[in-house]
Amino acid sequence: MGFVESAGSVGKYRFGRAVGEGTFAKFRLAADVETGGTVAVKVIDRETVLRNNLMHQVKMEIRAMKLLNHPNIVRIHEVIATKTKICLVMEYVSGGQLSDKLSCLKRLDEREANKYFYQLIDAVDYCHRRGVYHRDLKPENLLLDTRGNLKVSDFGLSALTKPGQLLSTSCGSPCYIAPESYDGAAADVWSCGVILFELLAGYLPFQDRSLTSLYRRISRAQFTFPGWFTPLQKKLILRILEPSPIRRAKISDIFDDKWFQGDYNPSRTDDDNDGSSDLEEVSTDSESSHASEVREAAELNPEPGRFINAFQLIATCCDLDLSGLFQEQKTKFGSSHTLQETLEKIRVAAQDVSLSMWRLDSSMVKLQDSRLLERSIPDLTLLAEVIEVTPVHCIVEVSKSTGDLRAYREFCRSLSSLLNGEQQPGSSSDLEVNKSE
């Protein structure tokens, strides 16, 4: 893969042990041979990044971290580009992840939760004022230093936009993601609210094995407070976990909240560094063309995004097979259509594979093999449920009760094509829908 070995080095940094691993990167401790200090290095395999078209995301992460200089945000020192690697040399935060502390203590006392939440909001406010939106805030991305102070890390999903500009993609971890078509600020605030609930409760407000049910709970803000929450805590969380981004509390509202205002003082930031200076890049064994790819991060100018729904984590996929979460065979599809339009496409897909359709209720249909008289044909029975997450976005869950798996997959392929606007051969709009008795 081209990753640096534990005994290797790059630039003035000598690598030590590995401290973490992601999909496209490894994290190593390293010693600065000039100062003797310890740093953390995110070692990204260049070949893997290029093969998966992720260079833009790497540049985005570098650009975002370059803009930020705050005591509650992990600092980036420099970027080293070689022929096979991109190394992000960062501040080493030795206290581990906030999620590790939560797993040991289950939940925090009010004073400590208030401290961490204050530091989180202070850091997020700083990011937003510089046009940086994290988009993946969760305890795994919040580190603790030796003094117990919080540090926001991992800007791999961050976005840089101008104030008020909507983002063009939706991402994040399912339990922490906001429900709405969003701007980055509102999405980050929602995630902060989920984190606050988890700090005080010891568990997440939204949990479900089914992604469909999970997103339904999130979109309706369906959660229950444990008995030990105080009225002030409940009031603040309810203002943050508001499904409507228009009515949701802004960061300025959080700063004015009575529970939020404690003895903790805002962090002092170094605003002398406005991000305009170039990151030093060391090219110990690189070609100039390789180094220039990272240098382009300083010139990054994201194109304006279009209005998009966060639930298109599912809906932007032609189909998302989540059958591994269930015992029975299930497949989920995203639909950028109204509920009725989606039901019509299910009807056409059913005709394409010789299935009859019965409406069980306003959002669920039963599909059955229309050739049952032919004994040699297996009895195929499917159920399809359409879940409306917005007026023009739905999730379709198709489950197979009995019958031939090949026929089930054939129906799923037909439905996937129809939902993505592809014309199916033999499709018709005159199939009669049978009403359930």
Question: What length does the chain have?
Answer: 437
CA–CA distance from 434 to each of 142, 345, 368, 407 (Å)? 54, 16, 11, 21
Note whether 164 and 234 are same-domain residues.
Answer: yes
Q: What is the pLDDT of residue 10?
A: 83
* Burial of 195: CB neighbours in 10 Å, binned 0-12, 13-18, 19+: buried
Tell me how far apart the alpha carbons of residues 210 and 246 are, in angstroms, rounded to a whole number.
28
Tell me how far apart the alpha carbons of residues 15 and 22 are, in angstroms, rounded to a whole number.
18
Are 208 and 214 contacting, i.e. CB atoms less than 8 angstroms apart? yes
Note whether 116 and 244 are same-domain residues.
Answer: yes
Q: What is the pLDDT of residue 5?
A: 42
Are 78 and 281 contacting, i.e. CB atoms less than 8 angstroms apart? yes
Whether residue 122 is predicted with pLDDT greater than 80 in this model: the reply is: yes
Is 37 contained in some domain?
no
Note whether 116 and 218 are same-domain residues.
Answer: yes
Whether residue 60 is predicted with pLDDT greater than 90 in this model: the reply is: no
Domain end position, chosen among 206, 240, 256: 256
Note whether 246 and 341 are same-domain residues.
Answer: no
Note whether 222 and 353 are same-domain residues.
Answer: no
The gap from C-alpha 254 to its chain's centroid, in whole angstroms, comes to 23
Note whether 418 and 320 are same-domain residues.
Answer: yes
Q: What is the pLDDT of residue 268?
A: 55
Tell me how far apart the alpha carbons of residues 180 and 242 are, in angstroms, rounded to a whole number.
10
User: Which residue from 142, 108, 106 is spatially nearest to 122, judged by alpha carbons?
Assistant: 142
When comparing pLDDT for 417 and 159, which is higher?
Answer: 417
Number of domains in the chain: 2
Q: What is the pLDDT of residue 371?
A: 59
Is 239 contained in some domain?
yes
Alpha helices in 202-299 (DSSP H): 211-220, 231-240, 251-256, 288-295
pLDDT band at 64 (very low <50, low <70, confident <90, very high): confident
Q: What is the pLDDT of residue 392?
A: 77
Note whether 102 and 224 are same-domain residues.
Answer: yes
Whether residue 186 is predicted with pLDDT greater than 70 in this model: the reply is: yes
pLDDT band at 345 (very low <50, low <70, confident <90, very high): very high
Q: What is the DSSP letter of 305?
A: P
**Where is average pLDDT lowest: 12-21, 200-209, 417-426?**
417-426
Is 133 contained in some domain?
yes
Is 87 contained in some domain?
no
Note whether 243 and 327 are same-domain residues.
Answer: no
Q: What are phi and psi of 110, to 5 degrees?
A: -60, -40
Tell me how far apart the alpha carbons of residues 184 and 81 are, in angstroms, rounded to a whole number.
30
Q: What is the pLDDT of residue 402?
A: 64
Q: Is the pTM of this model over 0.75?
A: no
Active-site positions? 136
Q: What is the pLDDT of residue 313?
A: 40
Q: What is the pLDDT of residue 291?
A: 42
Beta strands in 237-318, from DSSP E residues, in sequence order? 281-282
Q: What is the pLDDT of residue 275?
A: 40
Whether residue 227 is predicted with pLDDT greater than 90 in this model: the reply is: yes
* Burial of 364: CB neighbours in 10 Å, binned 0-12, 13-18, 19+: middle
Contacts (Cβ under 8 Å, ≥6 apart) of 263: none
The CATH number given to whatever domain includes residue 242 is 1.10.510.10
Note whether 335 and 245 are same-domain residues.
Answer: no
DSSP structure string for 155-192: -TT-EE--TTPPPS---S-GGG--SSB--HHHHHHHHH
When comparing pLDDT for 200 and 371, which is higher?
Answer: 200
Whether residue 324 is predicted with pLDDT greater than 60 in this model: the reply is: no
pLDDT band at 48 (very low <50, low <70, confident <90, very high): confident
The CATH number given to whatever domain includes residue 430 is 3.30.310.80
**Mean pLDDT highest for which of 127-131, 267-271, 317-321, 356-360?**
127-131
Average pLDDT of the residues in 400-428: 72
Q: What is the pLDDT of residue 305?
A: 36
The gap from C-alpha 215 to its chain's centroid, in whole angstroms, comes to 13
Note whether 121 and 247 are same-domain residues.
Answer: yes
Q: What is the DSSP letter of 408?
A: H
Mean residue pLDDT across the chain? 75
Note whether 226 and 112 are same-domain residues.
Answer: yes
Identify the domain containing residue 361 by its residue range.
314-435
Is 68 contained in some domain?
no
Are 428 and 348 contacting, i.e. CB atoms less than 8 angstroms apart? yes
Token reading at 267: 């962090």
Percent of the chain at pLDDT exceeding 70: 71
Is 26 contained in some domain?
no
Q: What is the pLDDT of residue 239?
A: 96
Is 167 contained in some domain?
yes
Is 34 contained in some domain?
no
